[in-house]
Structure formats: C-alpha cells, structure tokens
C-alpha cells in the first residue's frame, strides 16, 4: 500500500521576502520618484478597476495594470473585462486545485505550501499579478454558503496552513490576496449585514489568520470583506484597516476591495483601502475614479491619502518585479504541468477523511474483488460487481461555486477514478439514485453582478406557488423511480458504494444553506440502500457538514471535500486500500443543526445585523463547554492502520509567563508515535491547551500545536511540538493585548479533540 510522503515543515525553506534596510530605502526612494511624476488623474487611474479584473495602467509613465484573477481553486477563466459572459477561450483551462477545506483536512503545512506553489505558478503562467486567494474566514456556522472556500473553525489551524500557502503562491512572483478581511462568515445580505463582534472574540478567533498572513506569510495583498464590522463597512473601516492592519500590524502591502464593496468616495479614501474593484462596467464612475479626482479638487479628500494608496500599489509592483530594476527577472510561471497534477493528487489523497469504519469494512481489498470460482465447463470466472450509486459519483464540481469556479483541464469523478483503478476485471455499474433539478436561481452567467442585489441574498424561505408544488410532485416521482432502480442494482452487487453529498447549488457564493439536511431526498435513498445491502459504503462529497441520520447504521463513512482535478483518483485509491487515509476534520460535524450555538442564539443568516453572541465559543470550543457530542469531532479522522503513543516528555522553560515576547518558546512536548498496524499510514498528533483557572472564561481546550507524521508498519518516530507564550495567552480587553496568567495549564495530546491519549499539567510561573 502506497503512502503519501511528508517531511513536515518543508515550507520553512521558503521565507517571505526579506530585504536589508538599504534595499528598503532604495525601494521607498524609487516609489517616491515615480510618485512625483504622476498627475492626480494618473494616480487615481491606478486606484480602481479599468476592467472587471484589471486596474488602470499609466502607460506613458511605464506603470502597468495590475492583473487579478480568482481564485482559490485555480486560476479562473477569462472575462472580456466589461461583461460577465466568459470569453470562451480554448487556452484558459487550468489545473483544478483542492478547495481550502480539503487542504485544511490534510493538516499538513507542506501540502499547503506545495498547493500554493501550484496556484502561484499557474497564475503567473496565465499572466496574472494577483491571485484572489486564499479565503480564510472562520467557519462559524455549518450553513455558510462559502464554507467550502474556507479552512476551519479554528484560528490556529488556519494560521499554520495559510502561512505556507501564501509563501508558496508568492514564490512565483504573484501576490496572494488573503480574503475576506474580516468576520465574513455568512452570505445572507453579505453586502449590508452588520457583523457585531466584541474585541476579545475578534482578536482570538477572527483576526489571527489574517495577522499571520501579514506577519509570517508576508502577503503582498489583502481583500476587505463585503460586510460591515461593528457598524463600519469593512471597505472603509478605520478601526480594521487603519488602526489594526496598518498601524498595529505595520502592513505596507495593497488592500483591494471585494468586488462592489465600496460605498463612498471620501470615507473610503480616508481609510487604508488602496484599490477599488467592482462588478459593473461604469469604470469611470467608480468611487475611486472621477469622483475621487473631483473630491480631491474640491478639497474633500486629501492628496496625501491618494499618495499613500499609490505607494502601496507601487510597492506591491516592485515586490512582484512588475516594475523596477529586477523586472527582467520575473518568473514566467507555467500552467497545466504534469508536476502540478501530481502535487494536486498528493494533497487530495491526504484530504480525504475516514469518518467511520466499523469492523474494517474498508478498504475494499483486492481479494474481495477476485472473480468467482471457475465454471465447471468453461472455466469462466464471473466478475465481482460493484454498484456505484449517487449523482456525486459522476458530477463535475469544478465549474460551480461562484467566483471559485474553475475551467478545469479535467476532473476525475469518483466513478471514473474507480474504473481507472480497477480496469476491466470488475463489473462496475452506476445508478444515479437521486434526481437533481435544474437551478432555479439567478441568471447564471451574470450571477456575479446580480448576487450583490439585496433580494438575491435572501434565504430561500418563500412560500411554494402552485406551479412549484406541481414541479415538486414531478420531481418526487422521478426520485422514487431512480431510487427503485438504484436499490435493485444494489441487491445484485457484491460491493455497494454510495457517493452523495452536496454540490455547488448548495456550497455556493451568495447563498447560505437553509438546512443541514442532505438535499434531493438522499437520506431516504441511503436508508433503503443500507437495508438492501448493509455493507454499503457511504461517501459524502461536500464542502460543509450535513446531518447524517443514518450514521449509526452505516458501517463505513468517508468524507471527501472538493479536492480538485484528481479527487476521484484519490478517493478510489483510498476506497481500494492503495492509499491509507490520513485526513482529519478541520471543523466539527454537529449531529444536528439544532446543536449549533448559532442556531440556538439565532444569530446566523439574518439580514441587517448579526451579533456574534457566542463570543469565542465557536466550533469545538462551544461543543466542549456545553458537553454536546457532535457526530464527528474536530480533528477526527480514522486510518487503515493504528498508532500508539508513548514516552511523553514535557519540558518547561524557566521564563516568566507574564512578560516577554509572545513567540518565545515556553514548553516543548515530545512523544513517540508508533505505527502498530499492518500498513503504512499517517497520523496527526494534536496538542490542546486548557487554562485551569483564569480571570476570564476560557475554552476547555484550544488547539495550539500539531504534527503530521508518516510511518511504515512497526516504525516509531519521536515528535516534537513547541508551545510559545502565545499558546497560553488570551486577549485581555482591559489592556488591549494578549496576556497569560501564571498558573496551571492542562496539555491534552491525542489523535483528535475527542480522542485524547494523555493529559499533563504544567505550571507556568
Ligand atoms: C467575491 C470575491 C472574489 C471577487 C472577484 C466577489 O464576489 O466575494 O471572493 O474574489 O468577487 O470575483
């Protein structure tokens, strides 16, 4: 059985751009020299879209346009620039990368770095300067339509993955554009909703990913969110952009607006936003276009603010070698290379999470697929039959989701993957099992513009019309027919694999789901399949959790986030035991939507104003406090092998907890991990910290370190995890800073948040 290899922190060899003081001075001098040559009109031309994805150039002065493109799962196809109907080129097919949720499920910084490298190289290969990725908003509620684009409910996991991802991207002389800054965790009323978040929650949960992107990732650009934060639109928030991002974090890169998120000229000009992009073709009327020139001329906006913005853009251009002495040395990039596909496949393999495997039902071993006994007369051996049931077995996901859509060079579906792996000696039969009606929503090609209209962002809760009721009855009939066919097929099969879940009608930008239930009556189908063939393997392809009422009856459940062009190959390899699963959930899967804190406090998916009443108790921090057992816990993921942990050692530094650099290492946790099973496999060792007593309420435990290790059968590795002062700190609202209180802390080490092997108390003075 093959295993994906990893050597841990390879990304460390790629550091963000580090310049000497002298180089910085030279760079800033050059920026001033260029700035001096520009007229106000020319400066403002650089500050806004001249097409949908390109800023204005000042060609006479040697300043090129900034070419941007979505996005997170690969480089998006080309648009004419003033219309949302794709050009329809034959040369903009690209590699389709794992979504951020898939990447997060690898729990592997190396995979994040490599995926970033692919994205950066492809973006550069397609002539882009800025790739509008990664999206790192917190998964606050399972129903957020864009959860599939985001990584996790946990800020530490996000931080550890976003840094290598950005470094990987920017290695190709392309800017990452980390989005959406900040607290953009719902799609409903996304342009206008006021997200009310208290200071501690913002600092502990919603900002750390962005802070790491700036400080450790060195991101060259960042995108503001659509929503308001505590009353101010993020596109012009003085608190967020001016004070936190620029003053406190010292960010000197470019801030790009989300498309259509700017609402004023003067206020936005005063904020630390640099470039306005939007979805309509009236480019000269953008707030940062003619209106800004006029506002400056009238004395309402200042030329100093305009200059600051131009400087930030020029600085990004110099860093990207778009201009300046090194511009002849800019990397050329490449797209659709075989190496990219291998990297994508490796990440996909590690992203698949084995949720349940009772009695070792998986993998489907070669022995199980050997043909039957020879016929007495002819010697013919009857092939084994696999019934593959469910539309997601053949559905292509790459072309959907909103701005994350991709014109994939190809996409291997689960069915194709299985057939490619097994060849002609197994009889693989497919039945769709359920029916997917056509999309009822917005004018598809132009969704990007219409999705910003207020009524489109409403939840789907209108009353059913008579016509809709007729269509629904028709659909129910279709579903019943498909279900009967599927169950009949399952009855004749030796192995049954159901592949269902969601698709980008549900995991989609501009909409939140209105329920965590599986759509298309899949639950009924799954129950019937399990009755007909109790050993049915259930595979869920989806970007966000679903309720699984059949979970106790199904013996094997596999979770497959949208994992890119080789997703089907990776899934087949895992189902057939050619690769050992090593993915872990980067988010909690609650048993019921009713168990979520946001359902209980009613503060999700509302228009106008959403108060984050749960504070820092997001995801497992909440379930653990309330002792609610989720369907599958944060960090959960099974393997085909087993691991034992041994020889835990906790070394504590003499340093004082209350003072000093937050990054200073205070505790080192070491342990042996041994592969005690029969096959090679990977394990993610997780270390959580809990404060025994504190002046403020804190979570029982919080992820503060992890390490992924791959081991041959019988092999042992010693794992070292380091905890800095930061790992023990909370945000103290009195002092407006992180602080740690001396005393006892519990370190919990294990293979999942609910599978803790050992707890150790440390006392920090
Ligand atoms: C999305 C961004 C995206 C932009 C450009 C917006 O609707 O929120 O994530 O990068 O469009 O397509």
| Residue 4: pLDDT over 50 | no
pLDDT in tens, 26-46: 999 999 999 999 999 999 999
CA distance 541 to 567: 10
What is the residue whose two structure tokens read 């994992």? 563
Q: What is the pLDDT of residue 656?
A: 61
Q: For ligand 1, is residue 179 a contact (CB within 6 Å)?
A: yes
Q: What is the pLDDT of residue 350?
A: 98
pLDDT in tens, 645-699: 999 999 998 766 666 777 788 899 999 999 999 999 999 999 999 999 999 999 9
The secondary structure element, H or E, covering residue 353 is: strand 353-357
Give distance in angstroms: CA of 507 to centre of ligand 1: 15
Q: For ligand 1, is residue 132 a contact (CB within 6 Å)?
A: yes
Please report, to the nearest 10 degrees, the dihedral formed by the alpha carbons of residues 28, 34, 38, 42 taken in order: -90
DSSP string, 466-488: HHHHHHHHHHHHHHHHHHHHHHH
The separation between CA 388 and the C-alpha centre of its own chain, rounded to angstroms, equals: 28
Record the pTM: 0.96
CA distance 200 to 203: 5
Q: For ligand 1, is residue 403 a contact (CB within 6 Å)?
A: yes
Select which of 258, 274, 305, 507 is catalytic.
258
Percent of the chain having pLDDT more than 90? Answer: 91
Query: Average pLDDT, stretch 273-285?
Result: 98
Q: Which of 146, 223, 259, 456 to mutate to test the pocket of ligand 1 (most atoms within 8 A of CB)?
A: 259
Which atom of ligand 1 is least distant from the CA of 448? 7
| Residue 5: pLDDT over 60 | no
Q: Which residues contact 259 (CB under 8 A, 6 or more apart)?
A: 52, 277, 278, 279, 403, 448
363 upstream amide cis, omega within 30 of 0: yes
| Residue 20 CB-half CA count within 13 A | 3
CA distance 547 to 497: 19
3-class secondary structure per residue, 632-669: ECCCCCECCCCEEEEEEEEEECCCCCCCCCCCCEEEEE
Which atom of ligand 1 is least distant from the CA of 149? 9
Q: Looking at the DSSP assignment, which residues form a beta bridge with residue 381?
A: 374
In this structure, what are the phi and psi dihedrals at residue 578, rounded to the nearest 5 degrees?
-80, -20
Q: Which residues contact 268 (CB under 8 A, 6 or more apart)?
A: 235, 236, 257, 262, 276, 287, 288
594 upstream amide cis, omega within 30 of 0: no
| Residue 441: pLDDT over 60 | no
pLDDT in tens, 477-526: 999 999 999 999 999 999 999 999 999 999 999 999 999 999 999 999 99
pLDDT in tens, 172-214: 999 999 999 999 999 999 999 999 999 999 999 999 999 999 9
Q: Which of 149, 509, 512 to mutate to test the pocket of ligand 1 (most atoms within 8 A of CB)?
A: 509
Give distance in angstroms: CA of 267 to centre of ligand 1: 22
Q: For ligand 1, is residue 258 a contact (CB within 6 Å)?
A: yes
Other CB atoms within 10 Å distance of the CB of residue 375: 10
Q: Is residue 175 within 8 Å of residue 254, measured between CB atoms? A: yes
Give the tokens for residue 370.
Answer: 């050997």
Q: Read off the DSSP letter of residue 670.
A: E
CA distance 716 to 375: 48
Does 505 participate in catalysis according to the annotation? no
Which atom of ligand 1 is least distant from the CA of 70? 10
| Residue 22 CB-half CA count within 13 A | 0
Q: For ligand 1, is residue 259 a contact (CB within 6 Å)?
A: yes
The separation between CA 440 and the C-alpha centre of its own chain, rounded to angstroms, equals: 27
What's the distance, Cα to Cα, between the start and end of the chain in Å?
48
The secondary structure element, H or E, covering residue 222 is: strand 221-224
């Amino acid at each position: 059985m093959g295993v994906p290899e990893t050597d841990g922190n390879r990304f460390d060899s790629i550091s963000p751009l580090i310049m000497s003081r002298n180089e910085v001075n030279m760079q800033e001098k050059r920026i001033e020299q260029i700035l001096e040559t520009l007229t106000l009109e020319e400066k403002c031309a650089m500050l806004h879209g001249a097409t949908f994805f390109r800023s204005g150039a000042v060609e006479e002065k040697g300043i090129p346009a900034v070419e941007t493109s979505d996005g997170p799962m690969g480089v998006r196809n080309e648009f004419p620039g003033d219309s949302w109907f794709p050009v329809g080129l034959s040369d903009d097919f690209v590699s389709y990368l794992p979504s951020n949720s898939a990447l997060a499920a690898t729990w592997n910084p190396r995979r994040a770095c490599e995926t970033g490298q692919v994205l950066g190289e492809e973006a550069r290969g397609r002539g882009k300067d800025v790739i509008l990725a990664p999206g790192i908003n917190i998964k606050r509620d399972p129903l957020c339509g864009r959860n599939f684009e985001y990584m996790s409910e946990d800020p530490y996991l996000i931080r550890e993955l976003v840094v290598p991802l950005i470094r990987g991207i920017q290695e190709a002389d392309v800017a990452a554009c980390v989005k959406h800054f900040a607290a953009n965790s719902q799609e409903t009323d996304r342009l206008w909703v006021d997200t009310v978040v208290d200071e501690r929650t913002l600092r502990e949960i919603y900002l750390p990913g962005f802070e790491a992107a700036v400080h450790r990732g060195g991101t060259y650009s960042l995108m503001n969110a659509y929503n308001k934060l505590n009353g101010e639109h993020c596109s012009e928030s003085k608190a967020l952009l001016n004070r936190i991002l620029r003053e406190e974090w010292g960010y000197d890169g470019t801030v790009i607006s989300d498309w259509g998120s700017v609402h004023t000229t003067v206020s936005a000009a005063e904020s630390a936003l640099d470039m306005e992009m939007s979805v309509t073709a009236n480019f000269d009327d953008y707030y940062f276009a003619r209106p800004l020139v006029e506002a400056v001329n009238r004395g309402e906006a200042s030329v100093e603010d305009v200059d600051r913005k131009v400087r930030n853009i020029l600085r990004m251009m110099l860093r990207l070698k778009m201009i300046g002495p090194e511009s002849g040395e800019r990397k050329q990039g490449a797209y659709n290379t075989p190496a990219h596909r291998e990297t994508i496949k490796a990440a996909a393999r590690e992203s698949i999470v084995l949720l349940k495997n009772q009695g070792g039902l998986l993998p489907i071993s070669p022995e199980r697929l050997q043909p039957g006994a020879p016929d007495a007369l002819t010697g013919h051996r009857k092939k084994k039959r696999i019934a593959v049931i469910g539309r997601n077995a053949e559905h292509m996901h790459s072309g959907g989701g909103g701005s994350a859509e991709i014109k994939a060079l190809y996409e291997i579906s689960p069915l194709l993957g299985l057939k490619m792996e097994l060849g002609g000696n197994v009889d693989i039969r497919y039945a769709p099992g359920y029916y997917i009606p056509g999309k009822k929503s917005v004018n598809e090609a132009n969704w990007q513009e219409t999705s910003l209209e207020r009524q489109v962002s409403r939840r789907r809760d209108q009353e059913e019309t008579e016509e809709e009721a007729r269509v629904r009855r028709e659909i129910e009939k279709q579903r019943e027919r498909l279900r009967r066919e599927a169950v009949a097929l399952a009855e004749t099969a030796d192995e049954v694999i159901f592949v269902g879940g969601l698709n980008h009608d549900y995991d989609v930008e501009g909409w939140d789901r209105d329920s965590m239930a599986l759509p298309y009556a899949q639950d009924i189908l799954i129950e019937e399949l399990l009755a007909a063939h109790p050993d049915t393997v259930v595979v869920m392809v989806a970007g966000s959790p679903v309720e699984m009422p059949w979970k106790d009856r199904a013996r094997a459940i596999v979770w497959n986030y949208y994992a890119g062009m080789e997703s089907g190959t990776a899934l087949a390899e895992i189902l057939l035991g050619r690769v050992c699963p090593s993915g872990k959930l980067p988010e909690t899967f609650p048993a019921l939507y009713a168990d979520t804190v946001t359902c209980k406090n009613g503060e999700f998916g509302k228009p106008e104003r959403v108060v984050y009443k749960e504070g820092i108790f997001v995801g497992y921090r909440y379930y653990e406090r309330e002792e609610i057992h989720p369907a599958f816990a944060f960090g959960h993921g099974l393997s085909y092998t087993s691991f034992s942990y041994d020889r835990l050692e906790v070394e504590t530094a003499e340093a004082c907890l209350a003072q000093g650099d937050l990054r200073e290492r205070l505790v080192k946790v070491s342990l042996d991990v041994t592969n005690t099973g029969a096959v090679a496999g990977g394990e993610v060792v997780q270390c959580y910290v809990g404060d025994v007593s504190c002046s403020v309420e804190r979570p029982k435990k919080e992820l503060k370190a992890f390490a992924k290790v791959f081991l041959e059968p019988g092999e042992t590795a010693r794992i070292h995890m380091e905890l800095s002062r930061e790992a023990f700190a909370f945000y103290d609202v009195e002092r407006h800073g992180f602080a740690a209180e001396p005393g006892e802390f519990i370190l919990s080490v294990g293979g999942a948040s609910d599978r803790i092997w050992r707890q150790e108390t440390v006392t920090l003075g």
